[in-house]
């Protein structure tokens, strides 16, 4: 990759070959000055699009999990722009990956470039020099009138930022590959330091910007199976200074094959509480495809009903499910929960309980069911635990292809004694559970929610490996995380930044499921839902 260095009084940090020896870094390299350059926030944060024509989508993407869609019409070219601080009389390079007809990239009042047709991702690049007194620059993308929607991703403005801060962050250390698939590579590295503060990291694939992230993990997607790739990482600060490159790390993508793993990003949607939002509007705004719909309980004995009162068919629940499916999504019902009159204690035998589950499966032709097993009536009751496992085994045998999920509480170190029993008995009874989803929250106020979630998941992984004899990768593939957005019941705080870290960790370790409680609470911008939509397993 061609790199422009700034000439400063202090020494320049140098990365030496594959050995990665570093002198003390202090000089600033060129950086990507744009905020939210890959739209990974799930919003148009820091971008302004004309006439409400811009949106963030989860497909197609060039890198990461999100991209910009600009809906050009006969009356609007869908111009999306961002203004940044720059230095006078300085050369900059602007680039972006685009798809569509007549897509333009440029700087207001300066140079621009365009493509007449890009059926697949194509990189546009243009260089310009700022004026003698210029302190800001507005960069833009737009389509053309009547030419339809264009897509853009991984936009980069390469050069020194404005302001007085000229000290670069230190280079990221210990870059490493944490996972591969046929089309993606997951990476992690140790954090950089800076005199003011590190604001993000740019990940380069074979010398070309692949994605930008705020944390110390990233997944680069859209790759070719059985192919070698080389990755480096740079840290950047608010002034636009960039660190030297990290050591290079190489990875080979897996061979192409059928991915039979069960992958599900499915936040909770509860139609019986909390001013439930329009499921399809949230799908359009965030790219989410699955919902975990709550809660199916018992009505008049061993009969399933939504919240013990709404029928399976003919009501708002069924109409919502139909709308979700018409929009290209699907649902998994949450059977049980913390409170209410549950099926597990009310159905006397595994066979009777399986019959209740079957009514739910048949009502919606389900691909998966989730039993949320909590509290003393189910989770801390060995008879009911075994009854639920026996029922899930029966419906799995009677419904080929059905996926089964168990959701249950956890300690911050992994399953408690009841959780350990649930895992052990699922193996002993041959229940063939596809996913064990833990709920890593309510540990106590002030908990480190990222660290506690990771520790709890690692504890479950160890238990699954021990009980089932699985490899580490097999255990991760059978694990789910169901968090709680914002404040938990005990006052723990999970911010969008922390949830993004959890999501990225879950992607890099290829777990099977990600959920949170709940979409009803994710207002006004559906931030957590957008982040969850970026879960790829």
Where in the sequence numbering do the catalytic residues fall? Answer: 374
Distance in angstroms (rounded) separating the CA atoms of residues 402 and 517: 24
Output the DSSP codes for 339-393.
Answer: SS--HHHHS-SHHHHHHHHHHHHHHHT-SEEEEEE-IIIIIT-HHHHHHHHHHHH
User: For tokens 């009084």, what's the residue?
Assistant: 9
Residues 371, 401 contacting (CB under 8 angstroms): no
> How many CB atoms are closer than 10 A to CB 460?
29
Strands 330-337 and 290-298: parallel
Residues 332, 369 contacting (CB under 8 angstroms): yes
Give the DSSP H or E segment for 320: helix 316-326
Distance in angstroms (rounded) separating the CA atoms of residues 38 and 62: 9
Per-residue H/E/C for 160-191: CECCCCCCCCCCCEEEEEEEECCCCEEEEEEC
Instruction: Work out whether the CA dihedral 49, 54, 57, 60 comes out positive or negative.
Output: negative
Residues 241, 29 contacting (CB under 8 angstroms): yes
Which of helix, strand or coil describes residue 395? helix
User: For tokens 């250390």, what's the residue?
Assistant: 173
Specify which residues 104 forms β-bridges with. Answer: 114, 142
Q: Quote the strand ranges of 8-135, DSSP E.
A: 15-16, 21-22, 31-32, 48-49, 54-57, 67-71, 80-85, 91-107, 112-129
Distance in angstroms (rounded) separating the CA atoms of residues 338 and 375: 6
Which DSSP letter does residue 519 get? G
Number of H helices, E strands in the chain: 10, 30
């Amino acid at each position: 990759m061609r790199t422009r260095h700034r000439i400063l009084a202090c020494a320049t940090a140098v990365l030496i070959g594959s050995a990665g020896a570093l002198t003390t870094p202090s000089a600033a390299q060129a950086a990507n000055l744009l905020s939210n350059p890959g739209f990974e926030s799930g919003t148009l944060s820091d971008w302004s699009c004309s006439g409400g024509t811009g949106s963030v989508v989860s497909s197609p993407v060039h890198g990461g999990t999100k991209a910009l869609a600009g809906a050009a019409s006969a009356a609007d070219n869908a111009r999306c722009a961002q203004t940044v601080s720059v230095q006078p009389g300085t050369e900059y390079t602007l680039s972006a990956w685009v798809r569509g007809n007549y897509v333009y990239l440029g700087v207001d009042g300066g140079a621009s470039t365009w493509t007449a047709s890009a059926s697949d991702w194509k990189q546009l690049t243009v260089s310009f020099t700022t004026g003698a007194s210029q302190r800001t620059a507005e960069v833009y993308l737009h389509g053309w009138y009547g030419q339809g929607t264009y897509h853009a991703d991984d936009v980069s403005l390469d050069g020194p930022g404005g302001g007085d801060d000229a000290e670069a962050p230190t280079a990221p250390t210990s870059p490493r590959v944490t996972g591969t698939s046929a089309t993606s590579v997951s990476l992690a590295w140790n954090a950089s330091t800076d005199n003011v503060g590190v604001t993000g990291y740019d990940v380069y694939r074979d010398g070309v910007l692949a994605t930008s992230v705020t944390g110390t993990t990233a997944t680069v997607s859209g790759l070719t199976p059985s192919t070698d790739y080389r990755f480096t990482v740079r840290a950047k600060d608010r002034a636009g200074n960039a660190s030297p490159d990290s050591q290079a790390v190489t990875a080979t993508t897996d061979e192409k094959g059928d991915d039979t793993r069960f992958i599900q990003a499915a936040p909770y949607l509860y139609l019986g509480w909390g001013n439930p939002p329009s499921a399809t509007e949230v799908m359009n705004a965030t790219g989410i495809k699955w919902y975990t719909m709550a809660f199916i309980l018992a009505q008049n004995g061993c009969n399933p009903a939504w919240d013990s009162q709404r029928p399976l068919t003919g009501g708002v629940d069924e109409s919502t499910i139909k709308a979700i499916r018409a929009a290209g999504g699907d649902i998994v019902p949450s059977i049980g929960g913390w409170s209410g009159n549950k099926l597990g204690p009310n159905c006397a035998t595994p066979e009777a309980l399986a019959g209740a589950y079957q009514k739910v499966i048949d009502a919606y032709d389900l691909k998966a069911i989730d039993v949320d097993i909590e509290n003393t009536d189910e989770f801390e009751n060995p008879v009911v635990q075994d009854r639920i496992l026996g029922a899930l085994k029966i419906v799995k045998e009677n419904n080929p292809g059905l996926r089964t999920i168990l959701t249950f509480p956890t300690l911050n170190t992994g399953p408690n004694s009841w959780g350990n029993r649930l895992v052990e008995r699922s193996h002993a009874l041959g229940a063939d559970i596809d996913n064990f989803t833990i709920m890593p929250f309510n540990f106590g106020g002030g908990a480190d929610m990222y660290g506690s979630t990771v520790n709890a998941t690692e504890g479950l992984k160890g238990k699954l490996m021990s009980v089932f004899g699985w490899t580490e990768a097999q255990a991760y593939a059978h694990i789910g995380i169901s968090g709680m957005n914002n404040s938990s019941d005990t006052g723990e705080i999970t911010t969008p930044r922390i949830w993004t870290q959890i999501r990225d960790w879950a992607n890099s370790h290829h777990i099977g499921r990600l959920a949170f409680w709940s979409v009803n609470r994710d207002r006004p911008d559906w931030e957590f839902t957008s982040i969850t939509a970026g879960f790829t397993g």
